[in-house]
Amino acid sequence: MINPTNPTNAYTVPSVSITTARTGASSRANALGMRAMQERAYAKRGEQYLLIKSPPASGKSRALMFIALDKLGNQGLQQAIIVVPERSIGGSFADEPLSQYGFYWDWQVAPQWNLCNAPGVDEMRVAKSKVDAVRKFLESTDKMMVCTHATFRFAVEELGVQAFDNRLIAIDEFHHVSSNPDNKLGSQLGAFIARDKVHLVAMTGSYFRGDSEAVLGPVDEAKFETITYTYYEQLNGYQWLKSLDIGYFFYTGAYVDAVTKVLDPALKTIVHIPNVNARESLKDKEREVNEIMHGLGEWTGIDTVTGFHLVQTRAGRTLKVADLVDDSDPARRSRVLTALKDPAQKNNRDHVDVIIALGMAKEGFDWIWCEHALTIGYRSSLTEIVQIIGRATRDAIGKERSRFTNLIAEPAAEQATVAEAVNDMLKAISASLLMEQVLAPRYEFTPKNAGPLGGFDYGEEGYKDGGHNIGVNKDTGQIHVEINGLTTPQSPEATRICKEDLNEVVTSFLQDKIALERGLFDKENTLPEELTQLRMGKIVRERYPELSDTDQEAIRQHAIAAMNITQQAKLALAQADANGDTAQGSTALLDGVRKFVNVRDLDIDLIDRINPFDAAYAVLAKAMDEKSLRQVQASIAAKKVSIPEDEARELAKRALQFKNERGRLPDINSADAWEKRMAEGVAALARYRAQAKAAQAQGEPGNG
């Protein structure tokens, strides 16, 4: 499943490669015309609140059509309102003759109620004028309407949540919503749930809802029935695409000079150039587009029908390049957009070769032939990275391999903004690690000797003397692993999190700058337990403060186990590959897990003693100039300060657990580095308390 690789073409980008089985299952339709994900979602159509977590191209839009039509036809709802983040995505909900494929009804939206097709370029300016259209729709007997998030927000503000009673509200690209009070759609969503008189279907192609802020509060989230269709299931069930490479490439100087090293003219490519305010930008977007095209070959003109640039490569081939950056000529830009959306050209591989974009062509943009998503500079959110990668994960005839490359400026000694460059680099590595977790099969962890689980295949040697006791669910791709000393979640909510939301917890960990810096660049001075127990423990407590200590510890252990087992499986495969024993096909990750697990009797203490960033550092060491790498390591190590008070308090708690288990407190002179660190934490906490007492005695505000 996951193999370290260097793509075999004109350039070298250190990356991971995800290999799939190509079973065809994700595109196979049942008697009602539903693919696998749609069938799974439709089975839950009777729920009032549904959350569909499914990757791009898995058919979420059509799944919503099936569910909405049933709610209108069988569940007594009056109307269905589909809410999308921008007008271009409204095309996903165009009319569909579903009855031709076996379903009971067709999906038809009257032209006047697809507000995404209404004239107007500036959505925020024209949205208020569309409120009247929403009001008229609510008063009509028509059944379906499609509008943007902005239009819907204005309509709810003016008409009130009560105006939407007994209706279905379906929110596409749900990760745009947030529980932050400043997020209007998020606040309105809370009001709808509190009133409890609508049905809600929320859909997202990202595996974490909200980047640094949750979309829903715990109480509201518990009301939603979750349908999860993983990237693993989606990609493994394709007919054609069999591998996806994910990597980052470091450069010095201007990015336009480095683009030619990673931009292969033979691949169908979307290039996302940096925002004009980004550090990587040359502050002249038209020049940047021109230099990228110059890197591809010689410009020979513009196609008068499509508006695409024509560029002749050095090999004599003419490339069609769609420029979505230049907005100086609205007529030409409109012509390009129309050409890209032309349904008659959807299956024409030769229609366009390269798309250059700034803020467009991300989520909801469907170009099935895209083989390479090339992004310059870091992106502000991991959600955005997932969406960009999704542009290259469509299945198409003859398309066997695709890749995502993040072009990142390498920190250099002469740069005045080394800290900023390091921050960008950390975000790129974080995105790569997150995608490895998202693309891996989900784990089912149980304590040691819990026994086999139903639906899992353990092979002939499973649960025998010397057997590996690792099971695989062939339908879902889940892997069952037993871990000695694993804490079992006690509450239904903690159990749900361990089954459904581990990637959300891992995402928070990967966004923790301290964990990334110390785990990657301060390995000599940072103990793995400081990351796996202290940092991850802090993240879980802050994310789920309402849960018990036992449940918080269970979630921490499950999240670290999911991350570390995937990373160690990758390292095991890398070692096997170096020895000429390469794992092949869709069993590669499983083989890596078996290699790792079979080496030792797997227990949670062992997992906690592994730095989660070891595998990433191995890739980084190959990708970066050694001088730059050492410079970054020195700058990070120099930042380390004495033990903060909150960390000292957590170390003291771990020391108390140590005492309960061993009958003594940790020894500050111990040869075991973690025991010594816990003792240092106890001493540091004692100093903080002494300082607080002294300050109090002198009438000064203390720290404790």
Q: Which pLDDT value is given to residue 21? A: 65
298-307's contacts with Cβ under 8 Å and 24+ in sequence apart are 302/332, 305/335, 305/339, 306/335, 306/336, 306/339, 306/352, 307/332, 307/333, 307/335, 307/336, 307/339
What the block records as the tokens of 490 is 């006690």
Q: Which pLDDT value is given to residue 584? A: 47
Q: Which amino acid is at 89?
A: I
SS3 of residue 262 by DSSP: helix
pLDDT tier for residue 540 given thresholds of 50, 70 and 90: very high
CB distance 563 to 509 below 8 Å: yes
- In terms of Cα–Cα distance, which of 203, 179, 266, 204 is closest to 67? 203
> What's the CATH code, domain 244-414?
3.40.50.300
* Lowest-pLDDT choice from 521-525, 612-616, 661-665, 678-682: 521-525
> What's the CATH code, domain 25-234?
3.40.50.300
Q: Which pLDDT value is given to residue 234? A: 80
DSSP 486: P
Burial class of residue 301 (count of CB atoms within 10 Å of its CB; 0-12, 13-18, 19+): exposed
Q: Which residues are registered as beta bridge partners of 251?
A: 409
Q: Which amino acid is at 548?
A: S
Q: What percent of the chain has pLDDT over 70?
A: 82
Number of residues in the chain: 704
- Find the radius of gyration of the CA atoms of the chain: 27
- 215 CB neighbour count, 10 Å cutoff: 24
pLDDT tier for residue 687 given thresholds of 50, 70 and 90: confident
244-414: same fold as 25-234?
A: yes
DSSP per-residue letters across 332-384: HHHHHHHHHH-GGGTT-TTS-SEEEESS-SSTT---TT--EEEEES--S-HHH
* C-alpha span between 15 and 404 (Å, rounded): 9
- 494 CB neighbour count, 10 Å cutoff: 22
Full 3-state SS string of 15-65: EEEEECCCCCHHHCCCCCCCCHHHHHHHCCCCCCEEEEECCCCCCHHHHHH
Give the distance, in angstroms, between the CA of residue 273 and the centroid of all CA atoms in the same chain.
20
pLDDT digits (tens, 9 = 90+) for 241-274: 887 887 777 887 888 888 888 888 999 999 998 8
CB distance 95 to 108 below 8 Å: yes
* C-alpha span between 378 and 358 (Å, rounded): 13
CB distance 598 to 583 below 8 Å: no
Mean pLDDT, the chain, rounded, equals 81
- In terms of Cα–Cα distance, which of 392, 332, 398, 330 is closest to 367? 392
Q: Which residues are registered as beta bridge partners of 246?
A: 16, 404
Residue 501 to residues 206, 282, 465, 663, Cα–Cα distance (Å): 12, 40, 34, 36
Residue spans of the domains in the chain: they are: 25-234, 244-414, 440-639, 641-704
* C-alpha span between 232 and 438 (Å, rounded): 8
pLDDT digits (tens, 9 = 90+) for 414-462: 555 566 677 777 777 777 777 777 777 788 899 988 788 888 888 776 7
pLDDT digits (tens, 9 = 90+) for 378-421: 776 667 777 788 788 888 899 988 888 888 877 765 555 566 67
Cβ neighbors of 610 (< 8 A, separation 6 or more) are 528, 532, 564, 567, 568
pLDDT digits (tens, 9 = 90+) for 493-507: 899 889 888 888 888
Give the distance, in angstroms, between the CA of residue 303 and the centroid of all CA atoms in the same chain.
37
CB distance 123 to 131 below 8 Å: no
Burial class of residue 112 (count of CB atoms within 10 Å of its CB; 0-12, 13-18, 19+): middle
pLDDT digits (tens, 9 = 90+) for 183-223: 677 778 888 999 999 999 988 876 554 455 556 666 777 78
Residue 145's φ and ψ, nearest 5 degrees, are: -140, 145
pLDDT digits (tens, 9 = 90+) for 321-353: 999 888 888 888 888 888 888 878 888 999 999
CB distance 135 to 155 below 8 Å: yes
What the block records as the tokens of 103 is 């379903």
Burial class of residue 173 (count of CB atoms within 10 Å of its CB; 0-12, 13-18, 19+): buried
Strand order of the sheet with strand 15-19? 2-5, 15-19, 243-251, 401-409, 372-376, 269-272, 354-357, 318-323, 309-312, 298-302
Query: Strand 479-483 relative to strand 471-472: parallel, antiparallel, unpaired?
Result: antiparallel
What the block records as the tokens of 102 is 């076996």
What the block records as the tokens of 75 is 């569940």
DSSP 392: T
Cβ neighbors of 343 (< 8 A, separation 6 or more) are none
Residue 309's φ and ψ, nearest 5 degrees, are: -70, 145
- 320 CB neighbour count, 10 Å cutoff: 17
pLDDT tier for residue 74 given thresholds of 50, 70 and 90: very high
Residue scoring higher pLDDT (300 or 277)? 300
Q: Which pLDDT value is given to residue 599? A: 47
* Distinct helix (H) and strand (E) counts, the chain: 24, 19
Q: Which pLDDT value is given to residue 1? A: 40
Q: What percent of the chain has pLDDT over 90?
A: 23
pLDDT digits (tens, 9 = 90+) for 128-181: 578 889 999 999 999 999 988 888 989 999 999 999 999 999 988 776 665 455
Residue 101 to residues 4, 30, 70, 110, 251, Cα–Cα distance (Å): 42, 9, 16, 21, 50
pLDDT tier for residue 4 given thresholds of 50, 70 and 90: very low
DSSP per-residue letters across 173-221: SGGG--SSTT-HHHHHHHHHHHHT-SEEEEEESSSSSSSSS-SS-HHHH
Mean pLDDT of 6-30: 58
SS3 of residue 454 by DSSP: coil
pLDDT digits (tens, 9 = 90+) for 555-595: 999 999 999 888 887 777 666 665 655 444 445 566 767 77
Cβ neighbors of 545 (< 8 A, separation 6 or more) are none
Q: Which amino acid is at 156?
A: V
* C-alpha span between 245 and 249 (Å, rounded): 13
Buried b (16+ CB within 10 A) or exposed e, 649-661: bbbbbbbeebeee
* C-alpha span between 126 and 132 (Å, rounded): 11
Full 3-state SS string of 313-342: CCCCCEEEEEECCCCCCHHHHHHHHHHHHC
- In terms of Cα–Cα distance, which of 394, 436, 387, 398 is closest to 27? 394
SS3 of residue 7 by DSSP: coil
Q: Which amino acid is at 508?
A: S
- In terms of Cα–Cα distance, which of 619, 616, 635 is closest to 627? 635
